Chains A and B, each alone.
Chain A
Amino acid sequence: MRYFIAGFSVLAVTLFLKTIGDHINAATVSLALLLNVLFIATRWGSLPALLTSMVAMLCFNFFFLPPFGTFTIAATDNWIALIAFLITAVTAGQLSARARQRAEEAEIGKREIERLYSELRDAFERASHAEALRQSEKLKSALLDAVTHDLRTPLTSIKASITTLLDEAHGPTGDAPPVVLDPESRVEMMEVINEESDRLTRFVGGLIELAKIEAGELQLRRRWSAADEIVSEALLRAAPITRQHRIELNIERELPVLRVDERAVSEVVYTLIDNAAKYSPHGSIIQISAQRAGTDLIEMAVEDEGQGIPVDLRQRVFEKFFRAIRDGDVSTKLPSGTGMGLAIAKGIVEAHKGKIWIDSARKSTGTRVVFTLPIGDEEVLDGSIHSAVTVERND
C-alpha cells in the first residue's frame, strides 16, 4: 500500500507541475520531485523512498527532459542532470530514512528508560515502605518486651507472695512440706505486695503519660508560677527518697515568674531528683539550681555526685524505655528504673518549647541534667497577660 502511495505521489506531483506550465524550469521540477522523495523517506523509510526516487527519475526524464514524451534524452547535459537527480534523490532519501529510523530508535529507547525508571522507583518505594514497616514492627516488639518485663516483674513478686500466704492459710497439700511463716515474714510478704502494687500503678501511670505526650495530647494547664515554688514542691514530694542525701539549693534571686504548667514542671524536677538520689551514693550532694539564661529563658539543673552517664548515652537516656544501666552496659549494681522518667520529662519540657540535655557535673564525675523553659512564650509580651500576672501574684 505504501509503495503504491509512494509511486502515486510522484505522478500527482508531476501532474501538478505539468498543469502549471510546459516551460517550467528543470531545476524547479527536480527540487519538487526531490522534496517528494524526502517526504516519503521520512514517512515510510528507505525502500519506499528508493521506489519514489526511481519513479521520479522516470517522470523527470519522460515529461520534463527533451524530447518530451519519450525516455530518450537528446542533450548530454540533460543526461548529467538526470543522473545527478537520481543520485541526489536516492542519497537524500536513504539519509532521511535512516535519520527517521534513528529518531524512532531513540524514541523507543527513551520510552524504555522511562518505563524502567518508573518501575525502579515503584520497586524502591515498595522496598522502603516494607523496610519502614519492618523497622517499626521491630521497634514495637522491643517496646512491648520492655513493657511486659516491667509489668511482669512486680507481678511475679506479688504472685509469689500471695501464693505463699495462701498456702499457709490452706494448710499442707500433697507431698508439699507445710508452710511455716512467722509474723514478720507474713508482714514482709504483705509489704512486698503493697510496694509492688504501687510500682505497677506508677508504671501504668507513666505509660499513660507517655502515650499522651506521643499523641500530642498533653494538656498544659499554664499559669504564672515561681521557679522556687516549683522546686519546693518537687523537693517535698522527694523527701522520702532524699533522706540519705544532702540537698543544696542554688536559686537565683528575683527570677521572673514563668507561665508554665506548675504540676508538670515540678514532675520534671522530681524525676531528676529521683534519678540523682537513685544513682549517687548515700551522703553525697544533690545540687538543684535555677537561673536566667538570656532574656527570655530560665535554666534549671539537677546535679549529682554519682558515676555519671557516658557521653554516647546522653541522648539515648531520653528515649522511652531506654535504661543506661540495663541497656547501655553501664556496669553497676544500682537499680534500674522503668526507662520512662526522662522520656516523660523530655516530653513535658518540649511541650513548653524548652530543651533538656545532660552535661558532665561541674564538681565531680556525676551527672548534671539541665533544662530550659521560655519565661512565657509569645504571650509574655501581651499586656493583658501581664495584668493577669499581677492579679495572680497578688493572690
Chain B
Amino acid sequence: MTEQPRILIVDDEPQLTRVLRTGLKSRGYEVRAAADGGAGFNSFMDWQPDLVITDLAMPNVDGLELCRRLRAVSQVPIIVLSAKGEEKTKVEALDLGADDFVTKPFGMDELLARIRAALRRASATPSNDDTQAIFSSGDFQVNLDSHHILLRGKQIHLTPKEFDLLTYFIKHPGKVLTHRTLLAAVWGGNYVDQTEYLRVFVGNLRKKIEPDAAAPRYILTEPWIGYRFDPGE
C-alpha cells in the first residue's frame, strides 16, 4: 500500500462524488471518481486503487456488473453504497464478492470506519492462504491440524461443522458474509437455501463463544443479509 491509500469512487450522482471526493481527501486519502461501472473498471485497471466504493444503480454498467468484473481480476476491497429497498441487489453484490455495504444516507464517519476496516483487513489477511495450520485473529486462535480453537487461551468444544463455520468466520473478520456464502462454504453448494441450518449452528456457536448469547459481540447479525464476524481485540 502506498503512503496515501487510494480510493476509487464509482457513482453516477455528481453531487455525491463531489462530497465524497472532498471528504475523503480531507482525511488524507487519494481519490478518483467515475460515473459508471465501465469507466470505474477502466479507472481501476489504470490506477490500481486500494479500495473501491461503488453505487449499485447506475446507467450502462451497474454496481453488480462492476463487482463481477473486479472480482475476476482482483481481490481489492469493495464497499457498496446501497439504499433501503435495494436489499436484493445488495445481497447479490455481497454474494459476488463485495466486502461491505453502507446504507444511504450515511454519515461520513460511518463510511470512514468501514473504509478503515476494509483496508486493515486487506493488509492483514494474506490472500487465500489456506495452508497455514495455526493462525489467530483477535481473541481467537485456530489450529487446523488438531481441530482446536482457543478463545482467549481457553479451548472451545465444537462439533466438526461448528468448527468449520467458526474457522470460516475467523478467516473473514469484519466482512459481511451472506447466508449463501456461508452455506456454500461450510455445507456445500446444494445447501445455499437452507438458512435455518445456519441459524441453528450460529445459535449453538453463540452459546459456546459469546459472553452473552442474547447480545452477541463476536457473531453479529446483519438483518436479512447474513453475519459479520468481529474477532475482538
Contact = CB atoms under 8 A, between A and B. Distances in A.
The yes or no verdict on A and B being binding partners is yes
Interface of A: 144-145, 148-149, 152-161, 163-164, 167-168, 175-181, 185, 188-189, 192, 195-196, 325-326, 331-333, 335-336
A156 B23 contact: no
Contacts of A179: 26-27
Interface in B15-35: 15-16, 18-20, 22-23, 25-28, 35
Given A188-B18, A325-B59, A163 B109 contact: yes
Across the A-B interface, give the 8 residue pairs with the lowest CB-CB distance, nearest first.
A163-B108, A156-B105, A163-B107, A164-B23, A159-B105, A156-B104, A155-B105, A157-B15
7 contacts: A148-B85, A152-B105, A155-B105, A156-B13, A157-B16, A163-B109, A167-B109
B106 interface: yes
A164 B18 CA distance: 12
A148 B19 contact: no
A159 B7 CA distance: 20
Nearest to B15: A157
Given A157-B16, A159-B106, A331-B60, A189 B83 contact: no
A189 B22 contact: yes
A164 B19 contact: yes
B185 interface: no
Nearest to A199: B15
Contacts of B27: 176-180
Interface of A, helix, strand, loop or mixed by DSSP? helix
B84 interface: yes
Interface of B: 13-16, 18-20, 22-23, 25-28, 35-36, 57, 59-60, 81, 83-85, 104-109, 111-113, 116
Given A148-B85, A152-B83, A161-B19, 11 more contacts: A156-B104, A157-B15, A157-B16, A160-B19, A160-B107, A167-B109, A176-B116, A180-B26, A189-B19, A331-B60, A335-B14
Q: Which of A155, A156, A157, A178 gathers most chain B CB within 10 Å?
A: A156
A95 to B, nearest CB: 70
Contacts of B111: 160
A176 B113 CA distance: 8
Contacts of B112: 176
Q: Which of B13, B84, B85, B109 gathers most chain A CB within 10 Å?
A: B109
B106 A156 contact: yes
A168 B26 contact: yes
B108 A192 contact: no
A156 B86 CA distance: 15
A192 B59 contact: no
B16 A149 contact: no
Nearest to B113: A176
Contacts of A188: 18, 22
Given A175-B116, A179-B26, A164 B15 contact: no
Contacts of A144: 85
A63 to B, nearest CB: 92
A139 to B, nearest CB: 15
A382 B25 CA distance: 69
A325 B35 CA distance: 14
Contacts of B59: 325-326, 331-333, 336
A202 to B, nearest CB: 14
A148 B83 contact: yes
B106 A153 contact: no
B3 to A, nearest CB: 13
B100 to A, nearest CB: 17
B25 A164 contact: no
Contact of A164 (B13, B84, B105, B108): B108
Contact of B23 (A148, A153, A161, A325): A161
A163 B20 CA distance: 11
B109 A160 contact: no
A176 B112 CA distance: 8
A185 to B, nearest CB: 5
Given A161-B23, A168-B26, A153 B16 contact: yes
A161 B107 CA distance: 8
A276 to B, nearest CB: 20
A123 B210 CA distance: 55
Nearest to B16: A157
B16 A177 contact: no
A332 B60 CA distance: 8
B107 A145 contact: no
A7 to B, nearest CB: 78
B15 to A, nearest CB: 4
B94 to A, nearest CB: 20
Contacts of A168: 26
A157 B23 contact: no
